[in-house]
Copies of this chain bind each other. A is one copy, B any other.
Amino acid sequence: MPSIAELGEFGLIKLLSRRVKAAPQILKGIGDDAAVIATMPDSVILATCDSQAQDIHFRLEKIDPVDLGWRAMAVNISDIAAMGGNPWFALISLLAPAETDAALLDNIYIGLQACAETFGVAIAGGNVSRNPNTLIIDITLIGMADANSLLLRSGAKAGDSICVTGTLGLSAIGRYLQDHPSAAAQMPEEIARKAILAHHKPTPRVTAGQWLAAHKATSAIDISDGFVADLQHICEASSVGALIDAKLLPISEELAHITNTLQLAANDFALAGGEDYELLFTLPAEETETALQNLSATCGVSASKIGVITELKDILVVNDGKTIRLDRLGWDHLSGQK
């Protein structure tokens, strides 16, 4: 395909528009000053944005552009899921160097649309612009929720159970394998592929978030920065602390296999890895067992209890009989450090 500079702004918009399907909630999509969307009664609007910047969040040579589009959309949908909401429509802002091959953006749009469709999101519009050196995909996602059953970060109470959906750490070990091909080469192909895919193509927990919002969960967040860092967000917003039992951390067979082979600690990846896009949530103690069973049965995702909320405002982890107080453990997007 031509470069985007050769194609021009309006040529590129026409090309990318073909990847976007019409949806009933979009009264007027791409092609006017603003998109027009029908409102829904008795709801509140949820709004979030997140960007994927080249060489910060992804390397073009390491990820399939279709997966990159999926990932950029999925991380935004995950934020709406963590509020218990219904993801609804998205605006896509693409910034790219003038010499970018239009086929790259076209493939990213295939992934954007695939993920959007899977979770009922309509792409309502967007913007394309040049950027001197790097490709940036910046997405704003608008959702809807029932005003009376929002999953905020601020509702956790001492005694509540701390729970997560799915397993932790596979995305982080997937990123590790992506960046260390010699380590990846030591793994059975299927296991390495699964770990890298967990990093490239996360699954936002939309139905689980909606189920939790409707069934007494007291707080929730999606795990993007890392389990401990995100637990800290809940603890700060709720003015509480947490006690985690490391042996209850849900570790997938794949993570166990990979970390055993490489002599790494699976728990480090589970606690601090980040980008799992699982839901971390709290439940009243007495509801926990039944709720986790029903959540799994209804939403088709496992969920486990791994700790309790405490009055003491520290995050403590019991590991091998020892209790460790954890400071911030996770990714800081600006310093690029744990």
- Residues of chain B within 8 A (CB-CB) of A46 are 34-37
Contact of A199 with B by CB under 8 A: no
CA distance in complex: A40, B134 (Å): 39
- Residues of chain B within 8 A (CB-CB) of A127 are 49-51, 138
Contact of A61 with B by CB under 8 A: no
Interface size on A, residues (CB 8 A): 77
Contact of A150 with B by CB under 8 A: yes
Name the residue in A7, A49, A127, A220 with the highest tally of chain B Cβ atoms < 10 Å from its Cβ: A49
Is there contact, CB below 8 Å, between A34 and B83? yes
Is there contact, CB below 8 Å, between A333 and B47? no
Contact with B along A294-318 (1 / 0, CB 8 A): 0000000000000000000000000
Is there contact, CB below 8 Å, between A48 and B9? no
- Residues of chain B within 8 A (CB-CB) of A131 are 53, 56, 134, 136
Which residues of A121-179 are within 8 A (CB) of B? Answer: 124-134, 136, 138, 140-143, 145, 147, 150, 152-154
Is there contact, CB below 8 Å, between A49 and B93? yes
Contact of A43 with B by CB under 8 A: yes
Is there contact, CB below 8 Å, between A150 and B36? yes
CA distance in complex: A284, B147 (Å): 43
Contact of A222 with B by CB under 8 A: yes
CA distance in complex: A142, B35 (Å): 9
Contact of A261 with B by CB under 8 A: no
Contact with B along A73-117 (1 / 0, CB 8 A): 000000110110100010101010010000000000000000000
Given contacts A142-B142, A334-B5, contact A125 B49 (CB under 8 A): yes
- Residues of chain B within 8 A (CB-CB) of A128 are 333-334
Is there contact, CB below 8 Å, between B334 and A9? yes
Contact of A181 with B by CB under 8 A: no
Closest Cβ neighbor of A37 among chain B residues: B45
Closest beta carbon of chain B to A48's beta carbon, Å: 4
Contact of A194 with B by CB under 8 A: no
Q: Please pick, from B10, B222, B237, the residue contacting A332 in the complex, using a CB distance under 8 A.
A: B10
A-B contact pairs, 24 of them (CB 8 A): A6-B335, A7-B334, A8-B334, A9-B333, A10-B332, A28-B150, A33-B222, A34-B79, A34-B82, A36-B145, A36-B150, A37-B44, A37-B46, A38-B44, A39-B43, A47-B142, A48-B91, A54-B132, A98-B334, A98-B335, A127-B138, A129-B334, A131-B136, A136-B138
Q: Which 8 A-B pairs have the closest CB atoms?
A: A140-B140, A34-B48, A33-B82, A34-B46, A37-B45, A33-B79, A9-B334, A49-B91
